[in-house]
Chains A and B, each alone.
Chain A
Amino acid sequence: MSRIAYLVPLALFAFIAGLGGYLLTQPKDEAIPSQMVAKPLPEFDLPPAGQGLVGVSDGDFVGGEPRLLNLWASWCLPCIAEAPHLASLEQQGAEIIGIAIRDKPEDVAQFLAEHGNPYTRIGADNISGIQFELGSSGLPETYVIDAKGVIRHQHIGDIRAEHVPLLLKRLEAAK
């Protein structure tokens, strides 16, 4: 065998090591997309998250216009950052239904008093069951649900100013 042939494994090793080193420097996308998009909402029925609030079931998404389903919690810091943008979505005509995850009624009430209440309904889920049903892996998350109760889009993470027009477009497209 020629000498050059002996260099092939070394070159292969250098290539793989180089590739590994390069990928280590790349930012990792930790978002886990839900496989439930384009599927109907699973069955659920959650009690209200506090006094004077209305509970949520999958049937509440059927009929009328497409809606937003927002998973949040009073203990979730990005949810505070998201609150003004949810308010702006509500002002522009979007119906937002909320589900508070692992939350206490008094904490929910305090959060709503401080940051406003853009929701028509807020259900309470104390064991994160709705998150597993929806394929959600963190808070906050927002889903676009069409008037037939089918999940049309998943927004992972807090809604920022630039996401508001995108979500309005998604709602329009879901009509």
Chain B
Amino acid sequence: MLRCRTWLIAFWALLAPLALAAQDTQPPAPYAYTQLDDPALEAQAVQLMASLRCLTCQSQSIADSDAPMAGDMRHQVRARLLAGESPAEIRAWLTERYGDYVSYAPQVNAVTWPLFAVPLGVIGLALLVLVGRLRRKTKGGTAA
């Protein structure tokens, strides 16, 4: 049993430097993994972080990601909320630098308007067809 444990320790000791070499060695930023004391502010932070895109792991929000840069971005969000900025101001600060890319909350603008207009158009078209058919049917019904 004792020997087994010694081997296990030796095994982990061998792996440790590999894990250290792969990433930076600095500790995470103060607010990367620490919640704000004010629960209302923390709730705002959580909501905002869930809709901001991680830049190094592009399919995750910064709330979901363990990447050091996502941690640093969470620190920015919490520190700026604490300093009195609103969630909208923080999102604007980031989109000013990264474009709409960084936000998971889609905005209507010159490029994205078809995303919002096309479904409305399709629903309108479907309603027109439906009304036309129902009318034809009721007419046919009264005739018979």
- A: residues with CB less than 8 A from B are 30, 32-36, 73, 75, 101-104, 107, 126-129, 131-135, 137-138
Given contacts A75-B24, A104-B25, A128-B72, contact A35 B98 (CB under 8 A): yes
Enumerate 23 A-B pairs (CB-CB under 8 Å) in ascending A order: A30-B58, A32-B102, A33-B99, A34-B98, A75-B21, A75-B23, A75-B25, A101-B24, A102-B68, A102-B72, A103-B24, A126-B26, A126-B29, A127-B72, A128-B29, A128-B69, A128-B72, A129-B72, A132-B94, A132-B97, A134-B97, A137-B56, A137-B98
Which of under 10, 10 to 19, 20 to 34, or 35 or more describes the interface residues of B?
Answer: 20 to 34
Given contacts A102-B68, A137-B55, contact A127 B75 (CB under 8 A): yes
Minimum CB distance partner of A133 in chain B: B97
Docked pose: A36 CA to B93 CA in angstroms:
11
- B56 touching A128, Cβ below 8 Å: no
Residues of A within 8 A of B29 (CB): 126-128
Docked pose: A79 CA to B69 CA in angstroms:
17
What number of A-B contacts does a CB cutoff of 8 Å give? 60
- B75 touching A135, Cβ below 8 Å: no
- B99 touching A35, Cβ below 8 Å: yes
Docked pose: A137 CA to B95 CA in angstroms:
13
- B: residues with CB less than 8 A from A are 21, 23-26, 29-30, 55-56, 58, 68-69, 72-73, 75-76, 94-99, 101-102
Docked pose: A135 CA to B29 CA in angstroms:
18
Docked pose: A132 CA to B29 CA in angstroms:
14
